[in-house]
Amino acid sequence: MKILLTGASGQVGHELARSLRPLGELVAPGHAQCDLADLDQLRAVLRAARPNLIVNAAAYTAVDRAEGEGALAMRINADAPALMAQEARALGAALLHYSTDYVFDGSSAAPYVETDTPAPLNVYGQSKLAGEQAIAAAGIPHLILRTSWLYGMHGNNFLLTMLRLARERPQLRIVADQHGAPTWSRTVADTSAQLLGLALAGGAPWWQRHGGLYHLGSQGQTSWAGFAEAIFAATGTACEVIPISAAEYGASAPRPANSRLNCARLMALCGPLPHWRAALADCLAGASASGAVGPE
Ligand SMILES: NC(=O)C1=CN([C@@H]2O[C@H](COP(=O)(O)OP(=O)(O)OC[C@H]3O[C@@H](n4cnc5c(N)ncnc54)[C@H](OP(=O)(O)O)[C@@H]3O)[C@@H](O)[C@H]2O)C=CC1
Ligand SMILES: Cc1cn([C@H]2C[C@H](O)[C@@H](COP(=O)(O)OP(=O)(O)O[C@H]3O[C@@H](C)C(=O)[C@@H](O)[C@H]3O)O2)c(=O)[nH]c1=O
Ligand SMILES: [Mg+2]
C-alpha cells in the first residue's frame, strides 16, 4: 500500500503524517515539489509515484483572500482534485479528500446532513464544492470528509490567533452570531485513519457500500465568541470577549450563520466523535505538557 499525502505541512496534513504511517508506505511531497496550482507538475508527480491511495489535505484555505483570488482558489480546490480523481482512475487508486461546512449557506435551523443542498456564500466555499463535485463525478473509490472550524497547536487557526491577540489586547470583539463545532485537526486525522483502515480491510466492496461523502466534526456547538471564551478559560488567559455580530465585524467574505454538521453517518461507522469542549481540553493538555501554552 503506497499512500501519497499532499498538504503535510498544514493543520490536518501534519496530523495525518503521523496517523497514516501504520497504513502503508507514505510519500508526502511538499508545496514546492507538488504545487496544486501547477496541474502539469501535479500530474507528473502522481504518475511517477503511482500511489494506491491519494490523501489530499492541501487546499487554498484563506477565506477572505479567496474573494479576490477566485481563479487561483478554483485551480487549487477544484481543478487539482479533479485531476487527482482522473489520475486515480487511471492508476486504480482511491482518493480521500476534505471539504468544509462553508459549502452551505447556513440558512437551515438544523445541523446539516450529507444530502442537504449546498449553496456556498463565498468563493472559498464555491471552490470547495466544485472540488467535491468533480471527485464524486469521477466514479472512483473515494471519501470526501466535510469538517468545520479546525484548530490545533500547529498552523494557522482561530485557537492560535486568539492566544496571540490576547497577549496584545485586554479585550477582543468576537462574532457571536455564527454557530458551529470547533474541531481539533487530530480528531480529523485519527478518524480518517480509522476509516481508511476499514476501507483497506474491506476492499472494493467496502468502497462501494461505504464510500462517498461524510460530515466529520466535534459534537456540540458554540459561536466563535463562545469558542474564544472557552480558550481563555481553559488557558487561564485574562482577556475579555465582547460579543459582536458578523455584520459589525465586517469580514470581506460572508460566512454561514449555521455551520453545524450532523455527523451521524460517520459515527455509525466509526463510533462517537468527541464533544468540542473535551477535544479542546485534550488539545490544550498536550500543549501544556509540552510547555507550548499556559498561564504566564
Ligand atoms: N482550516 C479549517 O478550519 C477547515 C479546513 N477544511 C479543509 O480541510 C483541509 C485541510 O485544511 P487545513 O489543514 O486547515 O489547511 P492549512 O491551511 O492548515 O494547510 C494547507 C496545506 O495546503 C498546502 N498548500 C496550499 N496551497 C498549495 C498548493 N498550491 N500546492 C500544494 N500545497 C498547497 C499548504 O502548504 P504550504 O503551507 O507550504 O503552502 C498546507 O500544507 C482542506 O481541504 C480545507 O479546505 C475544512 C473545514 C475547516
Ligand atoms: C480574528 C477574529 C475573527 N473573528 C471572526 C471572523 C469569523 O467570523 C470568525 C472566524 O474567523 P477565522 O478567519 O479564524 O476563520 P475562518 O477563516 O472563517 O475559518 C474557516 O476556515 C475555513 C478554511 C473553513 O473551512 C471553515 O470551516 C472555517 O474554519 O471569527 C472575530 O470576530 N474577531 C477576531 O478577532
Ligand atoms: Mg481564516
In a domain, 214, yes or no: yes
Position 290 scores a pLDDT of 78
The answer, yes or no, to whether residue 295 has pLDDT greater than 60, is: no
Take atom 20 of ligand 2 and give the residue whose Cα is closest.
149
In a domain, 251, yes or no: no
172 lines ligand 2 (CB under 6 A): yes
The backbone torsions φ and ψ at residue 117, rounded to the nearest 5 degrees and listed phi first, read -80, 120
- Average pLDDT for residues 130-139, to the nearest whole number? 98
Q: Report residue 111 as a C-alpha cell.
A: 445541523
Q: Output DSSP code: residue 56.
A: E
pLDDT confidence band for 292 (50 / 70 / 90): confident
In a domain, 276, yes or no: no
Residue 112's SS3 state is strand
Take atom 32 of ligand 2 and give the residue whose Cα is closest.
174
Q: Which ligand is nearest to the CA of 5?
A: 1
In a domain, 162, yes or no: no
Give residue 177's identity as a one-letter amino acid code: D
214-229 confidence digits (pLDDT tens): 999 999 999 999 999 9
The answer, yes or no, to whether residue 256 has pLDDT greater than 90, is: yes
The answer, yes or no, to whether residue 296 has pLDDT greater than 60, is: no
The answer, yes or no, to whether residue 294 has pLDDT greater than 70, is: no
Active site members:
124
Domain limits for position 33: 2-157+183-218+261-269
Atom of ligand 2 nearest to the CA of 178: 8
The DSSP annotation for 117-166 comes to PP--SSHHHHHHHHHHHHHHHTTSSEEEEEE-SEE-SSSS-HHHHHHHHH
The backbone torsions φ and ψ at residue 295, rounded to the nearest 5 degrees and listed phi first, read -60, 145
**What is the number of domains present in the chain?**
1
53 lines ligand 1 (CB under 6 A): no
In a domain, 194, yes or no: yes
pTM above 0.90, yes or no: yes
In a domain, 234, yes or no: no
Assess contact for 149 and 158: CB atoms under 8 A. Answer: yes
Atom of ligand 1 nearest to the CA of 7: 41
Position 291 scores a pLDDT of 74
Query: How far is the centre of ligand 1, averaged over its atoms, from the C-alpha of 7 (Å)?
Result: 6
Check: complex ipTM more than 0.90: yes
Residue 147: beta bridge partners?
Answer: 100
In a domain, 212, yes or no: yes
In a domain, 243, yes or no: no
Provide the CATH number for the domain around residue 32. Answer: 3.40.50.720
